[in-house]
């Protein structure tokens, strides 16, 4: 199953009672393991948490820390990019040349690298003294 297929299979499980905008994400680690996530909304924070953040949390809980590839899918006219916060979270665990494939349920896809999605990402080295 492709990474987009993994994200698409998880997407229906998203909890989006406020926006109705369900997003699925999947990531493959450098060891080849796949982790999925979905967006989760709640009354106090209707924007909710993002699908990519859920996949990252699952990855960390699974003992992995390096992302080799990412996929995200939503029901939108064009492929949607990860939000700014998720781009930063992804950059913590992915190299600048890591491919991120974005897709719509209608089949449109767009692949970019992490550095294309988040040029000038904040890094731990910025705190070096």
Q: Which ranges of 1-124 would DSSP assign to H, the alpha helix? A: 3-10, 51-61, 84-93, 114-117
83 has binding-site annotation: yes
39 has binding-site annotation: yes
Q: Using CA atoms, how far apart are residues 108 and 121, in angstroms rounded to an integer?
A: 27
14 has binding-site annotation: no
95 has binding-site annotation: no
Among the listed residues 33, 24, 31, the one whose alpha carbon sits nearest the alpha carbon of residue 5: 24
Q: Using CA atoms, how far apart are residues 113 and 86, in angstroms rounded to an integer?
A: 14
13 has binding-site annotation: no
Among the listed residues 88, 89, 79, 97, the one whose alpha carbon sits nearest the alpha carbon of residue 30: 97
Catalytic residues: 52
43 has binding-site annotation: yes
Do 112 and 100 contact (CB within 8 A), yes or no?
yes
Q: Using CA atoms, how far apart are residues 51 and 89, in angstroms rounded to an integer?
A: 12
92 has binding-site annotation: no
Binding residue ranges: 39-45, 50, 83, 86
Binding residue ranges for substrate: 39-45
Binding residue ranges for Zn(2+): 50, 83, 86
């Amino acid at each position: 199953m492709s990474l987009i297929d993994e994200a698409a299979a998880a997407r229906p499980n998203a909890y989006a009672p406020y926006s109705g905008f369900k997003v699925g994400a999947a990531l493959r680690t450098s060891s080849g393991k796949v982790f999925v996530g979905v967006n989760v909304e709640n009354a106090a924070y209707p924007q909710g948490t993002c699908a990519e953040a859920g996949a990252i949390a699952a990855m960390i809980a699974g003992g992995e820390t390096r992302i080799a590839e990412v996929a995200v899918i939503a029901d939108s006219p064009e492929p949607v990019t990860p939000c700014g916060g998720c781009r930063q979270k992804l950059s913590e665990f992915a190299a600048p040349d890591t491919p991120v494939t974005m897709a719509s349920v209608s089949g449109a896809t767009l692949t970019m690298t992490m550095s294309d999605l988040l040029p000038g990402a904040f890094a731990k080295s910025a705190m070096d003294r």
